[in-house]
Amino acid sequence: MKTILKRYPAIPILAGFLFVIISGTVLLKIPVSTTEGYIPWIDALFTATSAVCVTGLIVVDTGSYFSVFGQIVILILIQIGGLGVMTLAVLFFQWIGKQITLQQRILVQDLYSIAPRKDIFRLVSSVVIFTFAAELIGMILLFTRWRHTMPVRDAWFHSIFHSISAFCNAGFSLNADSITAYKSDALINVTMCCLIIAGGIGFPVLYDLAVTFRNREKRLKLTVQTRVVLVTTIILIAGGALVFGILERHSPEVSASLNERVLTALFQSVTCRTAGFNTVEIGALQNTTLMMVMFLMFFGASPGSCGGGVKTTTLAILTGFIISRFKGSKHINLFKKTIPSDTVNMSMSLVIIAALLICVILFMVLSHGLLTESSESDKQIFLACLFETVSAFGTVGLSMGITSELNTWGKAWIILMMIIGRLGVLTFAYLIVGKSTEKRIEYAEENIMIG
């Protein structure tokens, strides 16, 4: 067993996620979880997977189809998925006074830190404390608005549900139209955006910011990863909002008011990276806008966060790679630091593998994953399926409305993509091939023509 875990170190993570998903499926299947007392097994599995993988794709309406008990189950699954199975396992071991193994310590360090930390419990505790603090603040801010539009009890539950869902970048909403009814409400939009950014920027970045802020007198500098994540995130949010505002300036989905147009563009730019909430109908957007959204969904959030995708740091490295090649440089330099060649090669491999996975899953969904009575044209179906697949990979949750038209096979393929997206492409690859134990053999070089 130890030999298997050494070769396949990601098995405990996958096993933990599958255990939570299966447990959630069983809980959602029992009659008390739904208003009608029944839900098909595949829909219960799809919903549980979407919640644990903090994706937000749904086959039934969360607010009307599930009872309060079912909604609480979904909320718990979202919180577990957002924090991560290994994080909660470490806290559990600490609570019962048991030491975690070296392998578990390494897995947690890989999730949250690029540098080894001796006090792993302190790191994990900081993650959990910040998560609950951010969700509490978000809950209070949302409650101040919703207490005027619904009963106090419902306002509290709505606030708790949406605060946790937003911070964990899950995209689940108790409203059938997500946040569309509140697209002109600045408080709700800004609060949700802040929660999404905080949950998607990555716990290593937040930890580094906190340490640097507490030790200002020592003049500690932010790590390169923190700088890269912050700069890339700002550029993607600002750039996405600008492009969305320009492309959809004549759309009936966007208000004529300048303030509301800015608010709508900003919210969609933030949420389409990994959260999955929406204040406009996604299917009504232009094809060029949908292409931009898929680009943002593909790269997604930052490492060590609640979000999926190939991560903002990968985009930064690829951009640096292109710039360095144009300059004729062999090295990639970011913030006066040289990025190791292994990291660059891993980033390029990550993008290639992710693109291939999307192509394979898209092919399977188009082949036998749709209900035959769809009224959409072939081109619309292709775009909708591509959008759905990229959304599942990035654990975003945005959809052009084709989720309900998936048959059992289609839902199964999207479930697989959501799990891969949450685990990460490299983690999934390690599950398949394992870590190499063979000695590296190098052969004589011979050039081939390209281009």
**Mean pLDDT, residues 424-435 taken together:** 66
Between residues 347 and 136, the one the model is more confident about: 136
Q: Is residue 288 domain-resident?
A: yes
Q: Looking at residue 71, what is its pLDDT? A: 95
The more confidently predicted of residues 99 and 50 is 50
- For residue 10, pLDDT over 90 is answered with no
pLDDT confidence bin for 443, thresholds 50/70/90: confident
Structure tokens at 248: 């959809």
Q: Is residue 138 part of a domain?
A: yes
Residue 449 lies in a domain: no
pTM: 0.88
Quickly state the pLDDT bin for 174 (edges 50, 70, 90): very high
Res 96: pLDDT:
47
Q: What percentage of residues in the chain have a pLDDT greater than 70?
A: 84
Highest mean pLDDT: which range of 160-164, 224-228, 281-285, 312-316: 160-164
Secondary structure of the chain in HEC code, one letter for each residue? CHHHHHHCCCHHHHHHHHHHHHHHHHHHHCHHHECCCCCCHHHHHHHHHHHHCCCCCCCCCHHHHECHHHHHHHHHHHHHHHHCHHHHHHHHHHHCCCCCCHHHHHHHHHHHCCCCCCCHHHHHHHHHHHHHHHHHHHHHHHHHHHCCCCCHHHHHHHHHHHHHHHHCCCCCCCCCCCCHHHCCCHHHHHHHHHHHHHHHCCHHHHHHHHHHHHCHHHCCCCCHHHHHHHHHHHHHHHHHHHHHHHHCCCCCCCCCCHHHHHHHHHHHHHHCCCCCCCCCCHHHCCHHHHHHHHHHHHHCCCCCCCCCCCCHHHHHHHHHHHHHHHCCCCCCEECCEECCHHHHHHHHHHHHHHHHHHHHHHHHHHHHCECCCCCCCHHHHHHHHHHHHHHHHCCCCCCCCCHHHECHHHHHHHHHHHHHHHHCHHHHHHHHHCCCCCCCCCCCCCCCCCC
- Among 88-92, 143-147, 367-371, the minimum mean pLDDT is found in 88-92
Residue 215 resides in a domain: yes
Average pLDDT score over residue span 11-39: 90
Quote the pLDDT of residue 401.
85
Residue 56 domain-assigned? yes
- Which of 209-218, 236-245, 417-426 has the weakest average pLDDT? 209-218
Number of domains the chain is built from = 1
Of 294, 298, 295, nearest in space to 308 by CA: 298
In this prediction, residue 374 has a pLDDT band, given cuts at 50, 70 and 90, of low
Q: Which domain holds residue 51?
A: 2-433
pLDDT band at 51 (very low <50, low <70, confident <90, very high): very high
Q: What is the mean pLDDT of the chain?
A: 84
Mean pLDDT confidence for 176-204: 89
Position 7 pLDDT exceeds 80: no
88 is a domain residue: yes
9: pLDDT strictly greater than 80:
no
Q: How confident is the model at residue 240 (pLDDT cuts 50, 70, 90)?
A: very high
For residue 413, tell me if it sits in a domain.
yes
Whether 445 is in a domain gets the answer no
pLDDT at res. 207: 80
